Chain A
């Protein structure tokens, strides 16, 4: 029954992949032609000969015929630092708060839990004006602290860790107590190693989340030295003139995709394990 249908299933999958992959192919393809060919609307479906020139220009200067931007190398480093700081910060903060909520009985514990939970319902956009005001008053504009700290508090990651911690058997906690481990020791020796796969999976998701940040960096950075790659791409696109440096944009876009793809590929094994397996 299932076997007979696999032909159709395959066709559906191939079509799906084609639909998703085509724009990416077009970006790759576009990055190999000169601006005139693309701008004229007659870009062939096969690669052109300008790849080296386009990538070199994007990476080292970022300046096209009209567009003026920071070099991709600078923006990539900015984006990378931002994503890494957000990822590490989120994981650290959320694992610690989940640990407190699950393993300690303190006054108003459920209150704090619900406070964290409720922030889930408030997306960044809702609190962006007050957050901006606070960040500006603290002098965080055009700094990595300003780029990352306001994004670090994470209800989602806290909830994820909480759900995982709830599956750690009470008896394991008690065995550890009898073995003489205090709360910090238990965290370090038992909880952290058991959370390894969860942390890895979360790192992948959060890295991509950080890398793709748009609205907040747009507000908080003004100088070209602090520009992130996502902002850089949009600035390239929004040149008022008819002549847009599509070749440069495509090259920049392809470069911008590489780190998230690399992270997913490198962490794939861990990522999948974190999603399907809990080591108990």
Chain B
């Protein structure tokens, strides 16, 4: 087990730069999820850690060792691929044993280790089968078995569950979590599935267009998004973003002709254009609010009711998450109330968070 550290890692494919300088440290035993939209460079970053892709500049450390120029096989990592990448002509046992065999592990030890891994993953009955005789979930488990038998310092997962159906995905997610809790091996897990990310991660790395937008625990990332991108990417439905302008004193926001008071003050940005972020569940109706909106669409989901409405003056679309028993009708005018502590203020030009 070891920590993983990236220092100023960049990657260019020809003239196109896809990773723009990533610095981060993944602690020993931590489960870190890299989350971001498609094409943002998650897989590329993971493959750089694995050594399958050579970075253009920057360094990679695993434990105290600089592995920047080390071959994948000598990095002491194991990787689980999206398409499982099992050897089609080998049995489940041989698939799991292959890495050990290549490394010249004595036969008896290979046997014990594979059987132990098979027991952990409930693959004992399948050891003699070929991959094509297995279901998707079983193949995924074999792929994980192949990773754990080698007892590497780091596990790397690239969207390992995205080929499974929804139910199996939930089940495997729980299994991966449990596995990590018993093995405590440093893990880096790439996904674009928010729920997977939130439930598995000790910490999240949110990426956008080759840059790290925010690193933090799932709750931190949710409650204090570092940018409009993170606010909009994490959470479903996403955070509402309203364009406005800070007042001259910097302690309230002018949204069209209404003014909304803030919990804090931002005198340095007084008078500047900002974006006001509000989570759907932090909006309620009634109270003393001056934010008015008219209802466009109501989605009753049972536990919650999602209300899509356009705000009076600015014509922004907002989504409210109301309790399931809320009675709202299309066309109705709503007075929306938000506690000042739940207002997120972002700089409009840079998208960076200013505060609450």
A residues sitting closer than 8 Å to B (CB atoms) are 169, 171-172, 174-181, 185, 189-190, 193-194, 196, 279-280
Q: What CA separation (Å) do A175 and B102 show in the bound complex?
A: 13
Q: Please tell me if the beta carbons of B52 and A177 are within 8 angstroms of each other in the complex.
A: yes
* Closest chain A CB from B150 CB (angstroms): 8
Q: Please tell me if the beta carbons of A194 and B89 are within 8 angstroms of each other in the complex.
A: yes
Q: Please tell me if the beta carbons of A280 and B78 are within 8 angstroms of each other in the complex.
A: no
Residues of A close to B87: CB separation below 8 A: 172, 175-176, 190
Task: Check A178/B77 contact, CB under 8 A, given A169-B85, A194-B89, A279-B89.
Answer: yes
Interface residue? B346 (CB, 8 A): no
Task: Check A180/B73 contact, CB under 8 A, given A169-B85, A175-B85, A190-B87.
Answer: yes
Tell me the number of A-to-B contacts counted with CB atoms below 8 Å. Answer: 58
Task: Check A177/B88 contact, CB under 8 A, given A169-B83, A185-B102.
Answer: no
Q: Please tell me if the beta carbons of A194 and B88 are within 8 angstroms of each other in the complex.
A: yes
Q: Please tell me if the beta carbons of A175 and B73 are within 8 angstroms of each other in the complex.
A: no
B residues sitting closer than 8 Å to A (CB atoms) are 50, 52, 71-73, 77-79, 81-83, 85-89, 98-99, 102-103, 132, 146
**CB-contact partner of A178 in B79, B83, B88, under 8 A:** B79
**CB-contact partner of A177 in B72, B98, B103, B132, under 8 A:** B72
Residues of B close to A175: CB separation below 8 A: 79, 81, 85-87, 146
Q: What CA separation (Å) do A240 and B71 show in the bound complex?
A: 72
Q: What CA separation (Å) do A179 and B152 show in the bound complex?
A: 11
Q: Please tell me if the beta carbons of A171 and B89 are within 8 angstroms of each other in the complex.
A: no
16 contacting pairs across A/B (C-beta < 8 A): A169-B85, A171-B82, A171-B85, A172-B85, A174-B52, A174-B79, A175-B86, A177-B52, A178-B78, A178-B99, A179-B98, A180-B73, A181-B102, A189-B98, A279-B89, A280-B88
Residues of A close to B85: CB separation below 8 A: 169, 171-172, 174-175
Known: A177-B72, A194-B89. 19 other contacts (CB 8 A): A171-B82, A172-B87, A174-B50, A174-B72, A174-B79, A175-B85, A175-B87, A175-B146, A178-B50, A178-B72, A178-B73, A179-B73, A181-B102, A189-B102, A190-B87, A196-B89, A279-B88, A279-B89, A279-B132
Interface SS of chain A: helix
Q: Please tell me if the beta carbons of A171 and B98 are within 8 angstroms of each other in the complex.
A: no
* Closest chain A CB from B115 CB (angstroms): 19
Residues of B close to A174: CB separation below 8 A: 50, 52, 72, 79, 81, 85
Residues of B close to A178: CB separation below 8 A: 50, 52, 72-73, 77-79, 99
Q: What CA separation (Å) do A175 and B132 show in the bound complex?
A: 17
Q: What CA separation (Å) do A177 and B156 show in the bound complex?
A: 14
Ranked 8 nearest A-B pairs via Cβ: A171-B85, A179-B99, A180-B73, A175-B85, A180-B102, A193-B89, A171-B81, A178-B72
* Closest chain B CB from A2 CB (angstroms): 32
Residues of B close to A180: CB separation below 8 A: 73, 99, 102-103
**CB-contact partner of B102 in A169, A179, A196, A280, under 8 A:** A179
Q: Please tell me if the beta carbons of B81 and A177 are within 8 angstroms of each other in the complex.
A: no
Chain A residue with the shortest CB-CB distance to B75: A178
Chain A residue with the shortest CB-CB distance to B53: A174
Chain B residue with the shortest CB-CB distance to A186: B102
Q: What CA separation (Å) do A279 and B133 show in the bound complex?
A: 12
Residues of B close to A279: CB separation below 8 A: 88-89, 132
Q: What CA separation (Å) do A181 and B90 show in the bound complex?
A: 15
Q: What CA separation (Å) do A179 and B99 show in the bound complex?
A: 4
Chain B residue with the shortest CB-CB distance to A182: B73
Residues of A close to B77: CB separation below 8 A: 178
Residues of A close to B82: CB separation below 8 A: 171
Q: What CA separation (Å) do A280 and B88 show in the bound complex?
A: 6
Q: What CA separation (Å) do A176 and B86 show in the bound complex?
A: 9
Q: What CA separation (Å) do A190 and B88 show in the bound complex?
A: 9
* Closest chain A CB from B139 CB (angstroms): 13
* Closest chain A CB from B343 CB (angstroms): 46
Residues of A close to B88: CB separation below 8 A: 194, 279-280
* Closest chain B CB from A189 CB (angstroms): 8
Chain A residue with the shortest CB-CB distance to B78: A178
Residues of A close to B146: CB separation below 8 A: 175, 179
Residues of A close to B102: CB separation below 8 A: 179-181, 185, 189
Q: What CA separation (Å) do A172 and B83 show in the bound complex?
A: 9
Q: What CA separation (Å) do A181 and B74 show in the bound complex?
A: 11
* Closest chain B CB from A185 CB (angstroms): 6
Q: What CA separation (Å) do A61 and B83 show in the bound complex?
A: 63
Chain A residue with the shortest CB-CB distance to B74: A180
Residues of A close to B52: CB separation below 8 A: 174, 177-178
Q: What CA separation (Å) do A145 and B80 show in the bound complex?
A: 49
Residues of A close to B103: CB separation below 8 A: 180
* Closest chain B CB from A180 CB (angstroms): 4
Residues of B close to A172: CB separation below 8 A: 85, 87
* Closest chain A CB from B81 CB (angstroms): 5
Q: What CA separation (Å) do A28 and B192 show in the bound complex?
A: 70
Residues of B close to A177: CB separation below 8 A: 52, 71-73
Q: What CA separation (Å) do A177 and B77 show in the bound complex?
A: 11
* Closest chain B CB from A174 CB (angstroms): 5
Residues of B close to A176: CB separation below 8 A: 87
Residues of B close to A190: CB separation below 8 A: 87, 89
